[in-house]
């Protein structure tokens, strides 16, 4: 979680200098990707929405080529052509990332169908999406297909109670779990800012998906501590942000593990060094060569 936080902090600085572009961060939501990914098998599949950096790191994508991809360089994991919102690494079964809200749900349902009925593997598919994505048509198509076809799909909802600067009363007329209920999909709720609780809830849900081969939803209550994206200001007051910051998942984990200031500085320094090296690697890398460019 600290690695994700430090990578995003560094990228935020680069957004301000113009070296990075309009990125979506998961500050305050790190426990979700870390908690869920730590319970998945390396052979399970992952499909994610537009907040990709946190799940990519949690899945173990290499730091240098991830940074180069985000900064649009030829040494990036997708040759610098995918960028933050379309990162993929099939070798690590980090299959797709979708900019269009809700799309990941229907594609993940299709992938889960293929895994179970075509490849006949007992691996599962986990999909990460936001609370507002459950209002999107493609989410509903995906859930309908997943339920009717009984596919091994874990739907992880990062419930940060926001869609950009829009509040849930404008996109959620009923509790999210009701939406899953209407498809006969069992939904579990947990605090998404406590990584130990996320791991426990994910473990139970993953076991159920694998054993029964049918979809399960995990709705994780969380707090977005960053702007929606770097080019869009936040309308929340400082007082509201300060209140949310008390639920910072890193703070919770520091207290739970009893990490003192000296230990935290040591960790921050060593991870910070790795992040700085990745930035230097990306800076030294060429931009992608497009077919229409002169030799």
Ligand X SMILES: Cc1ncc(C[n+]2csc(CCOP(=O)(O)OP(=O)(O)O)c2C)c(N)n1
Which residues of this chain interact with ligand X, rule CB under 6 A? Answer: 50-51, 99-102, 130-133, 136, 158, 160, 162-164, 228
**Which listed residue (35, 83, 130, 142) binds Mg ion by CB under 5 A?**
130
CB of 131 to Mg ion, least distance (A): 4
CB of 169 to ligand X, least distance (A): 14
CB of 259 to ligand X, least distance (A): 28
Q: CA 195, CA 254: separation in Å to the nearest integer?
A: 11
**Is residue 160 involved in binding Mg ion (CB under 5 A)?**
yes
Q: Report 9-48 residues binding Mg ion (CB under 5 A).
A: none
> Is the CB of 111 or the CB of 162 nearer to Mg ion?
162
Q: Which of ligand X, Mg ion, none is residue 8 near (CB under 5 to 8 Å by kind)?
A: none
**Which listed residue (8, 69, 131, 253) binds Mg ion by CB under 5 A?**
131
- Evaluate whether 55 touches 3 at the Cβ level (below 8 Å): no
- Evaluate whether 268 touches 53 at the Cβ level (below 8 Å): no
Q: Which of 206, 246, 188, 252 is nearest to 45 (CA)?
A: 206
Listed in sequence order, the residues at least 6 apart from 74 whose beta carbon sits closer than 8 Å to its beta carbon are 68, 80, 285, 286, 287, 288, 289
288 burial level (CB within 10 Å; 0-12, 13-18, 19+) = middle
CB of 129 to ligand X, least distance (A): 6
CB of 101 to ligand X, least distance (A): 4
Q: Which of Mg ion, ligand X, none is residue 51 near (CB under 5 to 8 Å by kind)?
A: ligand X
Structure tokens at 280: 């230097």
- Evaluate whether 127 touches 155 at the Cβ level (below 8 Å): yes
Q: CA 264, CA 253: separation in Å to the nearest integer?
A: 11
Which residues are near Mg ion by CB under 5 A?
130-132, 160, 162
């Amino acid at each position: 979680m600290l690695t994700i936080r430090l990578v995003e902090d560094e990228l935020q600085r680069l957004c301000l200098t113009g070296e990075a572009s309009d990125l979506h961060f998961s500050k305050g939501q790190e426990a979700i990707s870390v908690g869920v990914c730590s319970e998945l098998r390396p052979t399970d599949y992952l499909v994610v929405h537009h907040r990709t950096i946190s799940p990519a790191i949690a899945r173990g994508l290499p730091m240098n080529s991830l940074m180069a991809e985000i900064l649009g360089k030829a040494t990036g994991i997708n040759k610098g052509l995918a960028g933050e919102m379309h990162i993929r690494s099939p070798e690590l079964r980090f299959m797709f990332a979708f900019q269009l809200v809700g799309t990941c749900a229907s594609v993940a349902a299709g992938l889960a169908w293929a895994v179970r009925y075509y490849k006949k593997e007992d691996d599962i598919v986990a999909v990460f999406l936001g609370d507002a994505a459950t209002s999107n048509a493609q989410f509903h198509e995906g859930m309908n297909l997943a339920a009717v076809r009984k596919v091994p799909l874990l739907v992880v909802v990062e419930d940060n109670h926001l869609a950009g600067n829009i509040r849930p009363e404008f996109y959620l007329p009923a509790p999210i779990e009701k939406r899953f209920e209407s498809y006969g999909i069992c939904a579990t709720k947990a605090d998404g800012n406590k990584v130990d609780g996320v791991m426990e809830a994910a473990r139970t849900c993953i076991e159920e998906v694998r054993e029964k081969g049918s979809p399960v939803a995990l709705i994780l209550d969380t707090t977005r501590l960053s702007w929606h994206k770097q080019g869009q200001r936040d309308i929340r007051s400082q007082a509201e942000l300060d209140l949310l910051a008390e639920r910072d998942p890193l703070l919770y984990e520091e207290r739970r593990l009893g990490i003192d200031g000296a230990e935290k500085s040591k960790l921050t320094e060593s991870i910070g060094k790795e992040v700085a090296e990745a930035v230097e690697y990306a800076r030294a890398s060429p931009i992608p060569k497009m077919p229409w460019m002169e030799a």
